[in-house]
């Protein structure tokens, strides 16, 4: 059986999302931010973040899977659900729940850059820099840097459970 230990409280998450929203508002002043949520885990974060950006915001959703040998992702992306709108000329912000190795996101940014957005930036709630294997992946907005732990909550799941927790917790197996 497993249990979940608190890592980042709901209050700390809300405070940090407000700070990121304010920074995005400043950085994109006078523009429309086209947020792309990477499903499923990024949905709660993107919805809360969008409410805290004081600009015109449009939303789109994408579902991707990466595949490779065994349990390691190759970072090669298979698009399961593509975007509903073209990106040409838009100021795009990819919103992720967590970045670890960076392989999938690195490949995804190549795919999206080929669609000719005016700009493309990355935002993640959680960053595990100790797991990064991709050089040069620039993450523009980071909620929290965390150690290499198995985390759930705020969109992140373990076997489709715990996504609805209002905080980030570490899964511990008894």
What does the chain come to in residues? 174
Contact 169, 9 (CB under 8 A): no
Q: Which residue among the candidates 82, 84, 97, 100 is catalytic per the annotation?
A: 100
d(CA 54, CA 94): 18
Encoded tokens for 147: 């150690």
d(CA 84, CA 81): 9
Q: Is 38 exposed, middle or buried (0-12, 13-18, 19+ CB in 10 A)?
A: buried
Confirm whether 100 is a catalytic residue: yes
Contact 115, 86 (CB under 8 A): yes
Q: What are phi and psi of 173, to 5 degrees?
A: -100, 125
Annotated catalytic residues are 100
């Amino acid at each position: 059986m497993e249990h979940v230990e608190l890592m980042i409280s709901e209050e700390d998450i809300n405070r940090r999302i407000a700070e990121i929203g304010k920074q995005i508002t400043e950085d994109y002043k006078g523009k429309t931010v086209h947020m792309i949520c990477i499903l499923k885990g990024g949905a709660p974060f993107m919805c809360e973040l969008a409410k805290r950006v004081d600009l015109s915001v449009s939303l789109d959703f994408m579902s991707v899977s990466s595949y490779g040998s065994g349990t390691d992702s190759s970072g090669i992306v298979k698009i399961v659900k593509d975007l509903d709108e073209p990106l040409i000329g838009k100021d795009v912000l990819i919103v992720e729940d967590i970045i670890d190795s960076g392989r999938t996101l690195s490949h995804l940014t190549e795919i999206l850059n080929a669609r000719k957005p005016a700009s493309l930036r990355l935002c993640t709630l959680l960053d595990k820099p100790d797991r990064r294997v991709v050089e040069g992946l620039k993450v523009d907005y980071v909620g929290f840097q965390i150690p290499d732990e198995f985390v759930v909550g705020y969109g992140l799941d373990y076997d489709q459970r715990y996504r609805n927790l209002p905080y980030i917790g570490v899964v511990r197996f008894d």
